[in-house]
Amino acid sequence: MIDMPTGTDAYVQKGQDLSEQLSAKRADMRLRKFDTIAVHGIYGMQEALNNHGSIIEPIFTSSAQHFESSDHLETALAYQMPAWGYTRIGNPSTHYLEQTLSLLEGYDFAGEVDAVATSSGMAAIFMATNPFLMQEAKSELNFVASGKCYGGAFMLFSERYEKEKGVDVRWVRNNLNLSEWEASIDKNTRFIYTEMPSNPGLAVTDISALAELAHSHNIPLIVDSTLASPALMRPLSFGADIVIHSLSKVMGASGMSIAGAVLSRRNIMSKTGPDELRENFAQYVKLLPARDFGPALSPFNAVMILNDLRSLRGRVDQMSQSTMQVAKALTEMPGVERVNYPGLTSFEGHAVAKNYMQLVDSTDKRYGHMLSFTVKNGVEATRAAFDKLQMIWRATDLGRVKTVAVVPAISTHQQQGEAGRAVADVPANLIRLSVGLEHPQDVIDDLSQALDS
Ligand SMILES: *Cc1c(COP(=O)(O)O)cnc(C)c1O
Within the chain, how many helices (H) and strands (E) appear?
Answer: 19, 12
Nearest-atom index, ligand 1, CA of 260: 7
Find all residues with CB under 8 Å of 137, minimum gap 6, and list them.
Answer: none
Strand partners, 148: none
258 lines ligand 1 (CB under 6 A): yes
**Atom 2 in ligand 1: residue holding the nearest Cα:** 246
The minimum-distance atom of ligand 1 relative to the CA of 227 is: 13
Would you place residue 452 in the very low, low, confident or very high pLDDT band (cuts 50, 70, 90)?
A: confident
Nearest protein CA to atom 1 of ligand 1, as residue = 246
d(CA 352, CA 370): 17
What does the DSSP assignment read for 292-358?
Answer: HH--PPPHHHHHHHHHHHTTHHHHHHHHHHHHHHHHHHHHT-TTEEEEE-TTSTTSTTHHHHHHH--
> What average pLDDT does range 256-269 have in this prediction?
97
Percent of the chain beyond pLDDT 70?
Answer: 98
Q: Cα(239)–Cα(182) distance, rounded to whole angstroms?
A: 17
Say how many Å lie between the CA of residue 105 and the centre of ligand 1.
17
pLDDT over 80 at 419, yes or no: yes
Residues 6+ apart with CB under 8 A from 66: none
The closest-lying atom of ligand 1 relative to the alpha carbon of residue 199 is 13
The residue contributing the CA closest to ligand 1 atom 5 is: 121
Give me ligand 1 centre to Cα 408, in Å: 14
Number of CB atoms found within 10 A of residue 153's CB: 24
Our answer on whether the CB atom of 226 is closer than 6 Å to any ligand 1 atom is yes
CA of 398, closest atom in ligand 1: 15
Q: Is the pLDDT of residue 335 over 80?
A: yes
Residue to mutate, 118, 119, 122, ligand 1, most ligand atoms under 8 Å from C-beta: 122
Number of residues that this document lists for the chain? 453
Q: What is the mean pLDDT of residues 407-416?
A: 86
Question: Taking residues 383-400, what's their average pLDDT?
Answer: 97
* pLDDT for position 423: 80
Residue 61 or 5, more confident: 61
Which residue minimizes the CA distance to atom 4 of ligand 1?
A: 121
Provide mean pLDDT across the span 60-83. 94
Q: Looking at ligand 1, which residue's alpha carbon is closest to its atom 8?
A: 121
**What is the average per-residue pLDDT within 171-178?**
96
Q: Does residue 193's CB lie within 6 angstroms of at least one atom of ligand 1?
A: no
pLDDT at 422 over 90: no
Taking the centre of ligand 1 as the mean of its atom positions, its distance from the CA of residue 153, in whole angstroms, is: 8
d(CA 157, CA 143): 9
Shortest CA distance to 281 belongs to which of 293, 292, 270, 294? Answer: 270
Q: What is the pTM of this model?
A: 0.96
**Average confidence (pLDDT) over 63-87:** 94
pLDDT for residue 282 is more than 50: yes
Per-residue pLDDT, 445:
98
- The DSSP call for residue 168 is E
What spacing in Å lies between the alpha carbon of 384 and ligand 1's midpoint?
A: 27
Q: In what order do the strands lie in the sheet with 168-172?
A: 113-118, 260-265, 242-246, 221-224, 189-195, 142-146, 168-172
- Is the CB of 224 inside a 6 Å radius of any atom of ligand 1? yes
Give the pLDDT mean for 7-36: 95
| Partners of 242 in beta bridges | 222, 264
> Could you give the 3-state DSSP secondary structure of residue 172?
strand
Tell me the pLDDT tens digit for each residue of 203-232. Answer: 999 999 999 999 999 999 999 999 999 999
pLDDT at 1 over 50: no
Residue 139 has pLDDT above 90, yes or no: no
- Cβ(363)–Cβ(319) under 8 Å? no
Alpha-carbon distance values, 389 to 217, 324, 353, 359, 452 (Å): 49, 20, 30, 31, 11
What is the Cα–Cα distance from 249 to 122, expressed in whole angstroms? 12
Compute the distance between CA of residue 33 and CA of residue 56 in angstroms, rounded to an integer: 20
Q: Report, at the CATH architecture level, how domain 90-307 is classified.
A: 3-Layer(aba) Sandwich (3.40)
Q: How confident is the model at residue 180 (pLDDT cuts 50, 70, 90)?
A: very high
H-helix or E-strand spanning residue 383 = helix 378-387
Mean of pLDDT over the chain: 95
**In the predicted model, is pLDDT for residue 4 greater than 60?**
no
The pLDDT of 120-130, averaged and rounded, is 98
CATH of domain 312-451: 3.90.1150.10
Q: Do the beta carbons of residue 260 and residue 245 sit within 8 Å?
A: yes
Cα separation, 188 vs 281, whole angstroms: 20
Taken in order 433, 438, 442, 444, the sign of the CA dihedral is positive
Shortest-distance atom of ligand 1 to CA 248: 7
CA of 245 to the centre of ligand 1 (A): 7
DSSP string spanning 65-117? Answer: ---SSHHHHHHHHTT-S----BTTT--HHHHHHHHHHHHHHTTT-SS-EEEEE
Q: Which of 127-141, 173-187, 376-390 has the weakest average pLDDT?
A: 127-141
C-alpha–C-alpha distance, residues 101 and 400, integer Å: 19
pLDDT at residue number 42: 97
pLDDT score of 453 more than 80 = no
- Ligand 1 touching residue 148 (CB < 6 A): no
| Binding site membership of 195 for ligand 1 (Cβ less than 6 Å) | yes
| Burial (0-12, 13-18, 19+ Cβ within 10 Å), 110 | exposed
Of the given ranges (122-131, 134-143, 346-355, 369-378), which has the lowest mean pLDDT? Answer: 134-143
Could you tell me if the CB of 249 is within 6 A of ligand 1? Answer: yes
Domain extents for the chain?
90-307, 312-451
